[in-house]
Amino acid sequence: MYPHERSLVKRLADKPFALIGVNSDQSREELKAVLKKEEITWRSFWDGGSTRGPIATAWGVQAWPTIYVLDANGVIRYKNVRGEKMDEAVDTLLKELEKSKK
């Protein structure tokens, strides 16, 4: 998914959009190596080295990867959309946001 996520971040660089990752690698050093290798430029939080870390627990994550797309109010509007479906979800929310500002 990293190539698609990179392209999404690049395409939406001038939009009110943020991609945030949560990583369950065993150590912060492992996470740092993955971030560098995969050229991850967006914020990625380390969840304590476990798939049952505090972030996953708080959000009710049961499988990896789990994708949440939130609107401007922090409401989960889409879950587990990938590829084109993720693009469509984000674009829909950005259009809604633009309309609400008018």
Q: Which domains does the chain have, with CATH numbers?
A: 2-96 (3.40.30.10)
Please report the pLDDT score of residue 16 as a whole number. 95
Section 16-35 average pLDDT = 94
Tell me the per-residue pLDDT of 76-90, one tens digit each, with 9 for 90 and over: 999 999 999 999 999
pLDDT-based confidence at residue 15 (cuts at 50, 70, 90) = very high
Please report the pLDDT score of residue 72 as a whole number. 93
Measured between alpha carbons, how far is 63 from 9 in angstroms, rounded to an integer? Answer: 23
Burial readout 30-46 (b: 16 or more C-beta within 10 A, e: otherwise): ebeeebeeeebeeebeb
CA angle 33, 2, 72 (to 5 degrees): 110
Q: Is 90 exceeded by the pLDDT of residue 102?
A: no
